[in-house]
């Protein structure tokens, strides 16, 4: 008589019987989960960096950056797979296993039926896949203008066979994944850039009330007024092209982060509008040719006891320093701006040449125009409105053509410059 053994080295009828029962349990008691399948790093035609190889197609086994072991630019399947999963609902709880109090309710451990997963997805769920839990939608967001429910996305971090999924024959039937909330980072741009609108396909035979949003092909349209049945989508009296918000703008903190950043920049520009040091608040004493303070004969006092200098300061005096030039004459004295020097100037007059870059302040000494300073104090916020050498240097969009490495951008981050590159 052969010995008794529950273990089976092969998948026999016992395995098939238990597997069908497990599949039925997940069909009856599981919850729908939408899976966005990770396809791999985004393909690129060529690469001049050996640590970032070029791939002709997306493959989940490829690595985009073999130096940092990162897949920053990911590609996801445009089709969404519906799968049945089971997870334990978690209450807000404190994790007392570490020093201090930590809330631990944002990680989901979800199990799937293994063979159903293979039949639906074509492979095992792996790290990088994104799950959407429709039963966890937020139907009452704090923003009253958002009429739609906010979806919940989770990223798979790890996956393996579930311990509770092994049958008496020692064969696995369940696949367990660890998922954490998805953040609005670069890796998930392929998902976050999708429109935050329902896929309401346009049908010419339907009636659409004012404000309705439909999609025809890849273009979204919004009804300007009530659209009667039979109205063509190209009729501009009823339809106008519409650009919907993206998921990134609604389910992440991107919009709030941009708003906070703009407010911080606005306050920073108010408190420190220009680089360098402000010397306009200082009174500069006029000096003679030998650098001594001007005599009283060079000063004239009117009835209001306000001193008016005949001999104007030749510079910012003791306030000269790093980034103090602002093109403003000392003591708030008058200046003539323009692209040419004024005619018939008097000794001590100032002229600001606007055709110099940066603008240059001159003072007439009776015989010639002498340079006083350049307006080198610039806006600290780089951008299109910052027309300065500093901004042009930092935001240089030009490329340097080379014979061996192609066109190298002039503006590069330090992490790219200091990263070792293959010389082969």
The CA distance from 247 to 197, in Å, is 9
Tally Cβ neighbours within 10 Å of residue 297. 8
Tokens at 351, concatenated: 């002229």
Average pLDDT score, the chain: 84
pLDDT mean over 372-378: 86
Pick 205 or 39 by higher pLDDT. 39
What pLDDT, on the 0 to 100 scale, is given for residue 310?
Answer: 56
The CA distance from 328 to 221, in Å, is 54
Residue 347 has pLDDT above 60, yes or no: yes
What pLDDT, on the 0 to 100 scale, is given for residue 399?
Answer: 87
The CA distance from 288 to 286, in Å, is 7
101-110: pLDDT as tens digits = 566 668 899 9
Q: Position of tokens 């969404």?
A: 80
3.40.50.300, 1.10.760.10, 2.40.10.370, 1.10.3720.10: CATH of 13-192: 2.40.10.370
> Cα(first)–Cα(last) distance of the chain, in Å?
69
Which of 56, 71, 54, 172 lies closest to 126 in space, CA to CA? Answer: 71
Tally Cβ neighbours within 10 Å of residue 288. 12
Provide the percentage of residues in the chain whose pLDDT is more than 70. 86
What pLDDT, on the 0 to 100 scale, is given for residue 256?
Answer: 86
110-122: pLDDT as tens digits = 999 999 999 999 9
What pLDDT, on the 0 to 100 scale, is given for residue 5?
Answer: 82
Tell how strand 108-113 and strand 174-181 pair up: antiparallel
pLDDT mean over 132-142: 88
Order of all β-strands in the sheet with 219-223: 213-216, 219-223, 239-242
Residue 79 has pLDDT above 50, yes or no: yes
223-256: pLDDT as tens digits = 998 988 888 888 888 898 888 888 888 888 888 8
What pLDDT, on the 0 to 100 scale, is given for residue 285?
Answer: 82
Residue 301 has pLDDT above 80, yes or no: no
With cut-offs at 50, 70 and 90, classify the pLDDT of residue 336: very high
The answer to pTM > 0.85 is no
What pLDDT, on the 0 to 100 scale, is given for residue 381?
Answer: 77
Which of 183, 215, 220, 180 lies closest to 201 in space, CA to CA? Answer: 215
Q: Position of tokens 């009330």?
A: 209
Can you give the C-alpha Rg of the chain in angstroms? 35
What pLDDT, on the 0 to 100 scale, is given for residue 307?
Answer: 45
Residue 408 has pLDDT above 70, yes or no: yes
Cis peptide before 363 (omega within 30 of 0): no
In 295-368, where does DSSP find H-type helix?
Answer: none
Domain residues of the chain, as ranges? 13-192, 296-374
pLDDT mean over 379-400: 74
- What three-state secondary structure class fits 330? helix
155-167: pLDDT as tens digits = 999 999 999 999 9
The CA distance from 223 to 208, in Å, is 7
Which of 203, 204, 208, 210 lies closest to 230 in space, CA to CA? Answer: 204
The CA distance from 7 to 199, in Å, is 50
Whether 26 and 112 have beta carbons less than 8 Å apart is answered as yes
With cut-offs at 50, 70 and 90, classify the pLDDT of residue 20: very high
User: How many Cα atoms sit within 13 Å of 184 on the Cβ side?
Assistant: 16
């Amino acid at each position: 008589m052969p010995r008794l053994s529950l273990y089976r080295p092969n998948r026999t009828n016992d395995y098939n019987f238990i597997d069908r029962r497990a599949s039925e349990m997940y069909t009856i008691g599981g919850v729908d989960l939408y899976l966005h399948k990770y396809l791999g790093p985004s393909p690129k035609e060529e690469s001049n960096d050996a640590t970032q190889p070029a791939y002709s197609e997306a493959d989940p086994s490829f690595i985009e950056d073999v130096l940092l072991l990162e897949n920053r630019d990911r590609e996801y399947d445009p089709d969404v797979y519906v799968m049945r999963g089971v997870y334990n609902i978690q209450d807000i709880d404190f994790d007392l296993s570490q020093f201090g109090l930590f809330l631990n309710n944002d990680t989901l451990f979800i199990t799937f039926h293994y063979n159903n997963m293979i039949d639906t997805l074509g492979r095992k769920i792996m790290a990088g896949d994104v799950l959407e839990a429709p039963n966890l939608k937020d139907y009452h967001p704090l923003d009253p203008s958002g009429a739609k429910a906010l979806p919940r996305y989770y990223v798979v971090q790890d996956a393996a066979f579930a311990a509770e999924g092994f049958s008496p024959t020692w064969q696995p039937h369940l696949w367990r994944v660890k998922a954490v909330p998805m953040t609005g980072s670069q890796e998930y741009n392929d998902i976050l850039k999708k429109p935050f609108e329902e896929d309401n396909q346009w049908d010419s035979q339907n009636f659409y009330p004012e404000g309705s949003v439909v999609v025809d092909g890849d273009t979204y349209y919004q009804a300007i007024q009530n659209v009667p049945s039979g109205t063509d989508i190209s009729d501009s009296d009823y339809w106008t092209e519409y650009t919907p918000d993206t998921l990134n703008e609604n389910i992440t903190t991107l919009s709030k982060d941009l708003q906070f950043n703009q407010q911080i920049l606005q306050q920073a520009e108010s408190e420190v509008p220009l680089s360098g040091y402000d010397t306009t608040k200082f009174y500069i004493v006029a000096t003679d040719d030998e650098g001594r303070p001007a005599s009283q004969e060079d000063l004239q006092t009117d009835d209001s006891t306000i001193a008016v200098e005949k001999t104007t300061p030749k510079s910012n005096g003791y306030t000269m320093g790093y980034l103090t030039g602002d093109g403003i004459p000392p003591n708030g004295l008058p200046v003539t701006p323009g692209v040419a020097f004024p005619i018939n100037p008097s000794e001590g007059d100032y002229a600001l040449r606007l055709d110099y870059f940066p603008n240059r302040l001159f003072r007439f000494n009776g015989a010639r125009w002498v340079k006083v300073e350049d307006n080198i104090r610039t806006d600290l916020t780089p951008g299109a409105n910052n027309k300065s050498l500093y901004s042009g240097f930092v935001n240089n969009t030009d490329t340097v053509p080379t014979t061996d490495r192609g066109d190298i951008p002039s503006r590069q981050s330090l992490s790219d410059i200091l990263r070792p590159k293959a010389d082969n």
